[in-house]
Structures are given as structure tokens and as C-alpha cells.
Structure 1
Amino acid sequence: MTKEIVQEYYGKTLQGSEDLKTSACCSTVRPPDPVIAAMEHIHPEVSGRFYGCGVVVPDGSLTGWRVVDLGSGSGQDVYILAQLVGQDGEVIGVDMTPEQLDVARRHEDWHRERFGYDRSNVRFIEGHVDRLQDLDIAPGSVDLIVSNCVINLVPEKAAVFAGAAHLLKPGGRFLFSDVFVDRPIPADLANDPVILGECLGGAMQVDQFEQLRSEAGFAAPVWREVRDLTVDDPAIAAKLEGFTFESRTVELVRR
């Protein structure tokens, strides 16, 4: 049921970032200069339906890398990374929401021409981020996996981390931004369609995350950003009174 709620919220309820009711799916961090430069070449419809909560681009050169974006949505992070890996690299977006994939795919040729590439270096796969082993991506073939405010939307979080480790090369990196909470959220609140869709209902706790990443075979995390989140909608804030939410960006390395 959770996946159907998420598909409805991101496919039909939200038509743009202005429809969000909290700051959970928004980023206030100034991206690095290369990312800012790359964002100038993103189609407005793609950027207008972006719901990430952080910057998921690692430091250093990405030239020639193979990258997978989990929950790629309308494709903004895919098209940013496509510029940074260059035409000889590849970026694969995985998403389960047809409406979001339609936006991403509709502008593939536009971006290829904008980047000056002879051929596109991106592809989008309709699939579930907790079933990565089922996708047409060879195990142990990926240099970098990113995800931007998506893991909270997935009930089977252990499967996401295990699947990421399955696709990554040894030493490959998993860089994601997501929402964390200070204590467990009761099921009736966690499954509220708006609270879930606004990236709060399925938020992880730090100790839960530490167990998941360790069991999946990832080394100790490097925390790149931690910031408090606000719930500006009075009705949602009343329901979640007493909970503390944070947006955290973390980098993992596969052992």
C-alpha cells in the first residue's frame, strides 16, 4: 500500500516543488560551483519537479564513471551527473512513478543537444529501489550510487542498502540525502498519505541506519551535512508535535 501512496503523491498530487507542505524535500545548501554550472543546463520542467533534500554529488572528478540514481524522479540529478561524468560515462535513473519518468524521458534529447553530446549518456528504468537485483544493471559494475530524499519512502530499507552494495564495485560509493527522525513514528502517523509523501513518515533513525549500512557491507559513514527540518503546515505540525526531524547527507563506501 505504501508504494501506491507514494506513486499517487509524486505522480498526481504534487505538480511542482511549490506544492510541498514542509521543507523536508527541499535543499537550502549552496551546491558546489560545478553543480551550479550544470544546473544552468537543466530543462525548467525537470527542475520544477525536483524534490530532493540535499546535494548528492561527490568531490573530485567523475569523468567516465557509471552512476545510478535511486528514485530519480524527473531526472534533475541524473542530468547534472550526466554532465560531470562526460559522454564516456553513464548515468542510470531508477524510479517507479510513470509520470515522473515521462518528464525525465521527454527531455532526454533536449539535454543531449544542450550538453553537446553525440549520443545520450543517460537512461531511465522503471523499477523499485528495493528490488535493484531485478534491474538490467550488472552486479559490481557501478562506481557511484546516489539517492535524494527517497529511502524514507521505502518500507524495505534493508533491501535498498543490500541492493546498492550488490550493484557497486568494491570501493564504490553510495551518497545519499534523506530525512532522519529522533524516535520511532507510530504506524498511524507514518502511513498518513501526506506525512509519508512529505518524506517524514518513513524517516530513519541514526541507529537504525547504522545497523542497515553495516549489515549491507558498507564502511563507517562520512556525514557531509546535517540540518534541522521545519514543518510549516499547521495541521501536519500538530500531528507530529514532539518529533525532531533532520535532513542528513551521508557518504558510504562499499567494503
Structure 2
Amino acid sequence: MPRIAVLGLGRFGYTLATELAARKAEVIAVDHSPTIVEQIKDNVDLAVRLDATDELALRSQKIDEVDIAIVAIGGNFESALLATTILNSLEIPQIICRARTKFHAEIFKRIGASQVIQPEKQAGEEMARKLALPHLRDLIPLEEGFSLIELDAPGSFVGKSLLELKLRETYNLNLVGIRNMPVKDEDAEDGEGIDEAPRIMSVPKPHDIINSGDTLYIVGPDARLAQLPRE
């Protein structure tokens, strides 16, 4: 498992550090608050109180040897920038920064961040997608404005073939997979005639029928995905 340093233990950083540790990553949690460090120390491999903008202090805790450093300092943009600059000079393989705004995100990228995340923005976008598409199970961003989604088959799709749905013509979307619910043989005894696990159809055919309970895997532009039926 990777060795990860989380710098800044606000709500986001604290949750991230504890979740990573729960998943067996080796986590070094860093914050200037003795109270927060005391609270998290039993949940991570190492919790230290230090100034994340002090290069010597970071080196003293072997932060320069981690695989990934996450700058989760949310309240002080200047400190977050300085910490990122120092981490970059330490040649950390991967530096992930939390940004509050798009402008801040651009600056982090310019000074050496490998990846920038905006938790508040992403949480808002995810909630919007779920409200717009109640059947949505999961979403995987592929690139800016383009995603793969997993969703329960909308009622208006049930009983229709891919040819009838015309997803590409109507929505400019591609159905790339269907997970079918097990189908019971009407002539079988109770408990019999059902597959032990759902069947994956990795390459749906034009005449395949969408059934109630099917899970669809659809890829395309986010704007088009948002136009899929809600029910």
C-alpha cells in the first residue's frame, strides 16, 4: 500500500486521512492543532503537529519519502501554496491539492500539483446528477464533460430493443454494457431456474431487449447524459 501524507486536518483532511488508514494505506497526518492531532492519532500510522510550510519539519518526519502528499489546507491559501511548492521541491511523486475555486486550482497546477480536487464543487455536481437522474448508481468521469454512468433501466426503456431506443441518434450516447437481472423459468419450481449471479453483456446487440431491473452502462457527454429519462 502507498505511504501517504495528509497536510491539513480540517473536516475534509481528517475524513480523508482516517478513510485512507481504514483501507490499510500508511498515513502520516499533519496539522498545527494539537487538539486535532490528538484526536486522530489512534486512527492513522503517525499524527504529528508541525507547520506544513516548514521544510525542515517536514523532512524530520520523512514526508520527503512518501509516495503521495495531499495538501488539504483549506483555510489559508497562502500556506497551501507554500506547502505545495515545498513538496514539489522534495520531489514527491504525486501531489494532490484541495482547491476552493477554479482560480486556485489553476495556480496549484502551475506550481507543481499533479492533481487538483474541489470537494465542494464535486459534491454539488454529484448531488445535481443524482437529483436529475434518480436511477443513477455510479458515475466515472472519463475527461472534462464526458462520463460513463451506471444506472437502473428507466421504465420507458423497458421492453424495447437497442434498435428501438436509438440512444445514439436521440441522445448522442452509447450503451456499452448491460447487467441483466437473473430470469426465472416460469416452469421451474420455486427457488430453481435462476442464475446464481447477474450476467454481463459487454457488447449489447441491436435486438437485445431491456428488461425491468437491468443495469445499463452508458457513455457520452455529461450534457446528454443529463437528458436521459428520469423514470
Which TM-score tier does this pair reach, normalised by the shorter chain? 0.3 to 0.5
Superposition TM-score, scaled by structure 2 size:
0.42
Superposition TM-score, scaled by structure 1 size:
0.39
Flag the structure with higher strand content.
Answer: 2
Instruction: Please say which structure displays the higher CA radius of gyration.
Output: 2
